[in-house]
């Protein structure tokens, strides 16, 4: 833990009170006790932000936030604790049964078998021989290496890319399409807007603050989620959020939160709350649009000039297609919001300049494609798309979107491109990918054919899974189905710094380093690219850990392709220098003067300026000014409210216009009689997915050693549950223990349990055994959003809760597994 004051976070009644303590109330550097050390040369970065490492006696002891960070995240203070966690994988390990019997071992022992320490030579030989065996016996489509995860930053040490590069060189692998965060949106939005959109820069915050009279956070919680970036977080959105709060207090702008949960952002702004039942936002928006249409208030000129397909949608909206007009009464009966409130909300958005800032959690639901499509259609009917400070945006809550972009060059990194004239195995490899959230379905059902975005995909038979620094036994849905699928695999290989639930299920575990144990280079701020920083190695690798680059190099050497992997035996610093110098050339072409690599590495960073024109960026402004000269990437070049392409697919679960389709489970379904609570699993507050859960920061939020679950006082009273009780949460798919937080901040009939709690089975290997700790994916459904996107539906699930009256079992997932 170093010198961190872990209890400074906790106030009042412990973790229950800490759960409503806002990040805005916390200071990163205030958590470091004693005098702050002088600036260290060991500048580094993480998804939580840049920092300067404190090192004493070769040990990583603490951090000071990077001086250019306007709002450092308190989570950086847990990084030393993470580095030396009890769950650190210190040596190469092999599951005992696999070491004895190889791929013919009893695979049902995964998760309960003991591990045996072996030498690096033995471990690497095992991995290389397994890759060769599976490739030769079954072909490359028998290996799933779609490794996925947020583990680390850095342009060189990207574990997934390094492993994919190695596997491509050796002959190929089955990869993935999309991600768990935005799978539905990534597929639907190119049909509607011509781009993925959810990862695009947003209309600048300065323009939103200047022009918008209504700011709507729709299923978004930027106060929590903007603590992190895919690259190194620069936290550029927070000064603007503070300005918005001041304007809201003065009555200059109204801030709304549309969410069944009053989240941190809503509490921070004291937002006006609109709380529809989960998975019913589309119905509510349809009611809003019906009102705007029938009262003749929608922007006909915008619809006519900038969109196509409105007529098909209009017939559906008015009930001409299904004899069901989407009236205020119809919408109210589904979403639970009063008719007057739906009407007044629509009227206010129409009468005043409005910005709809939508999150991603709403599309992680059955038929999740419909949410983003419907919101775009609503924004078009309001007629404010392309207007400064108004319209819609899908990444204000992600990586500080809307923070003005700096005038900066790009920064490349390691890739899977092979620079070789040899006729090696990689030349025969034809990429084959599946939607990432269908991974378990693929392993369980070889030969099954699924629809995906107009195509048919036949699942191959997977014999090996190779994963690097990710935690699928956290982020994939329906844990028990996943465990059964894993028994079908012959081999499961993992690179991992920690004994995560995933590492515990592996046959071979290779110990990997963390960012602080290696050199790398990265940008600060996904959207604003304010700096390029040198991520400097501050300490030697813990125990026998090796960098992922080195691990993949050594395996490639055994496979006979070391030179191809290293691109002519480049060292790690050769790569880093090359990335920087390529960026420097780009900078020179743009008139940006940058120091030499040696000067950059000595100082630790290069800072870039924001031009005035970038502060005035409005998304879709150029399109709205001249749609003929600036067409969108859709077939029509316009916003497609109805899609002819999707119509040709003829899917029964995704029509060719925005529509309400009843979810598999929701509070209006028959299942709600047996399981009357809808569980939502948003991004956690004090970690990045499952990261940092194995540190002292867990003390901030856990309740009696369990993941917290929020439930409304009315629901708690019915079940005799009090604040702090251990409860059992269950449905037909599984069960888990949790710690109750009774709060009015969640809608009656709804419970909130953050994703990312480490899976800790009570009886490993036993069918549908209860999780002792709080893995919400014991409860979720492993089903695709629709035939269009096949995304995950983690926020579509019903549960029941009861007070747990037995003796609470010991939490063991934060201890090392059994080791021979």
Give the C-alpha separation, 182 to 179, whole Å: 6
Give the C-alpha separation, 564 to 562, whole Å: 5
Give the C-alpha separation, 128 to 688, whole Å: 32
Torsion of CA 292, 297, 301, 303, to 10 degrees: 0
531 is in an annotated binding site: no
Q: Which of 565, 571, 570 is nearest to 425 (CA)?
A: 565
475 is in an annotated binding site: yes
150 is in an annotated binding site: yes
Give the C-alpha separation, 456 to 716, whole Å: 46
Kindly write down the DSSP assignment for every residue of 19-63, as one continuous string: TT--GGG--TGGGB-SSPPPPPS-EEEETTEEEEEEEETTEEEEE
230 is in an annotated binding site: no
Spatial contact of 439 and 144, defined as CB atoms under 8 Å apart: yes
3-state secondary structure of 141: helix
Spatial contact of 791 and 363, defined as CB atoms under 8 Å apart: yes
Spatial contact of 265 and 217, defined as CB atoms under 8 Å apart: yes
Name the active-site residue from 140, 148, 199, 758.
148
**Radius of gyration (Cα) for the chain, nearest Å?**
26
Give the C-alpha separation, 544 to 715, whole Å: 50
Catalytic: 150?
yes
Name the active-site residue from 150, 199, 360, 601.
150
Calculate the alpha carbon distances from 418 to 414, 415, 421 in Å: 11, 8, 9
CA atoms within 13 A on the CB side of 252: 12
DSSP state of 404: P
Kindly write down the DSSP assignment for every residue of 183-242, as one continuous string: HHHHHHHHHHHSS--TTSPPSPHHHHHHH-SEEEEES--HHHHTT--SSB---TTHHHHH
Burial pattern 211-246, b for ≥16 Cβ within 10 A else e, equals bbbbbbbbbbbbbbbbbbbebbbbbbbbebbeebbe
Give the C-alpha separation, 41 to 351, whole Å: 54
Catalytic: 148?
yes
575 is in an annotated binding site: no
Residue in the structure block whose two tokens are 């419909």: 370
3-state secondary structure of 737: strand
Summarize the annotated binding site as residue ranges.
150, 364, 471, 475, 518, 548, 777
The set of catalytic residues is 148, 150
């Amino acid at each position: 833990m170093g010198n961190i004051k872990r209890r400074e976070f906790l106030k009042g009644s412990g973790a229950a009170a800490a759960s409503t303590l806002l990040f805005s109330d916390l200071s990163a550097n205030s958590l470091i006790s004693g005098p702050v050390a002088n600036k260290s040369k060991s500048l580094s970065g993480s998804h939580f932000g840049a920092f300067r490492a404190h090192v004493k006696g070769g040990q990583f002891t603490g951090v000071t936030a990077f001086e250019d960070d306007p709002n450092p995240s308190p989570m950086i203070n847990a990084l030393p604790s993470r580095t030396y966690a009890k769950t650190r994988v210190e040596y190469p390990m092999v599951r005992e049964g696999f070491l004895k019997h190889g791929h013919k071992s009893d695979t049902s022992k995964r998760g309960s078998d003991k591990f045996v320490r072996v030498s690096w030579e033995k471990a690497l030989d095992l991995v290389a021989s397994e890759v060769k065996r599976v490739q030769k016996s079954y072909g490359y489509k028998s290996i799933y290496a779609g490794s996925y995860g947020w583990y680390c930053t850095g342009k060189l040490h990207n574990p997934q890319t390094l492993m994919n590069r190695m596997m491509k060189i050796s002959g190929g692998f089955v990869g993935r399409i999309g991600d768990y965060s935005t799978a539905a949106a990534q597929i639907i939005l190119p049909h509607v807007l011509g781009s993925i959109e959810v990862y695009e820069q947003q209309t600048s915050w300065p323009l939103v603050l200047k022009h918008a009279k209504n700011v709507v956070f729709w299923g978004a919680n930027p106060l929590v989620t903007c603590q992190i970036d895919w690259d190194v977080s620069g936290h550029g959105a927070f000064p603007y959020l503070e300005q918005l709060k001041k304007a809201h207090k003065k009555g200059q702008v109204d801030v709304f939160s549309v969410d069944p949960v009053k989240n941190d952002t809503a509490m921070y702004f004291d937002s006006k709350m609109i709380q529809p039942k989960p998975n019913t936002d589309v119905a509510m928006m349809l009611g809003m649009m019906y009102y705007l249409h029938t009262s003749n208030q929608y922007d006909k000129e915008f619809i006519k000039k900038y969109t196509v397909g409105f007529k098909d949608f209009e017939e559906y909206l008015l009930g001409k297609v299904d004899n069901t007009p989407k009236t205020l009464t119809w919408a109210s009966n589904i979403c639970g919001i009063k008719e007057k409130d739906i009407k007044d909300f629509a009227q206010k958005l129409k009468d005043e300049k409005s910005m709809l800032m939508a999150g991603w959690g709403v599309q992680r639901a059955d038929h999740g494609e419909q949410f983003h499509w419907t919101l775009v259609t609503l924004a078009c009917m309001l007629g404010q798309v392309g207007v400064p400070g108004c319209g819609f945006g899908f990444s204000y809550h992600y990586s500080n979107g809307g923070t003005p972009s700096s005038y900066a060059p790009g920064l490349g990194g390691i890739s899977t491109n092979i620079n070789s004239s040899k006729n090696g195995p990689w030349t025969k490899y034809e990429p084959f990918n599946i939607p990432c959230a269908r991974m378990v379905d693929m392993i369980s059902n070889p030969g099954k054919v699924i629809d995906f975005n107009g195509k048919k995909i036949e699942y191959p038979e997977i014999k090996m899974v190779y994963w690097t620094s990710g935690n699928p036994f956290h982020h994939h849905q329906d844990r028990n189905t996943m465990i059964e699928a894993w028994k079908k695999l012959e081999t499961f290989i993992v690179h991992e710094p920690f004994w995560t639930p995933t590492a515990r299920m592996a046959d071979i575990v290779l110990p990997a380093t963390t960012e602080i144990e290696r050199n790398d280079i990265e940008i600060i701020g996904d959207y604003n690219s304010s700096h390029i920083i040198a991520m400097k190695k501050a300490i030697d690798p813990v125990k026998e850990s090796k960098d992922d680059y080195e691990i993949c190099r050594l395996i490639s050497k055994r496979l006979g392709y070391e030179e191809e992997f290293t691109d002519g035996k480049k060292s790690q610093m050769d790569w880093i220098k090359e990335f920087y110098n390529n960026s420097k050339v780009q900078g020179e072409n743009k008139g940006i003067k940058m120091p030499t690599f040696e000067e950059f590495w000595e100082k630790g960073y290069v800072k870039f300026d924001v031009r005035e024109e970038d502060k005035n960026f409005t998304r879709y402004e150029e399109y709205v000014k001249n749609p003929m000269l600036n067409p969108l990437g859709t077939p029509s070049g316009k916003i497609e409210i109805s899609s002819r392409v999707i119509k040709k697919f003829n899917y029964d679960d995704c029509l060719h216009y925005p529509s309400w389709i009843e979810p598999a489970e929701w509070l209006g379904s028959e299942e709600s009689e047996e399981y009357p609570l809808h569980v939502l699993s948003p991004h956690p507050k004090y970690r990045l997915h499952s990261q940092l859960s194995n540190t002292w920061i867990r003390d901030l939020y856990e309740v009696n050693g369990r993941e917290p679950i929020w439930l409304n006082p009315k629901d708690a009273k019915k079940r005799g549950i009090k604040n702090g009780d251990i409860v059992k949460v269950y449905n037909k798919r599984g069960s888990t223990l949790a710690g109750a937080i009774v709060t009015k901040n969640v809608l009656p009939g709804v419970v909130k349990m953050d994703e990312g709690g480490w899976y800790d089975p009570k009886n490993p290997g036993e069918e549908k055994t209860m999780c002792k700790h709080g893995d919400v994916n014991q409860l979720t459904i492993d089903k695709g959003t629709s035939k269009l996107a096949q995304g995950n539906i983690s926020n579509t699930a019903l549960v029941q809760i009861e007070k747990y009256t037995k003796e609470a079992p010991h939490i063991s997932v934060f201890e090392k597994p059994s080791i021979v």
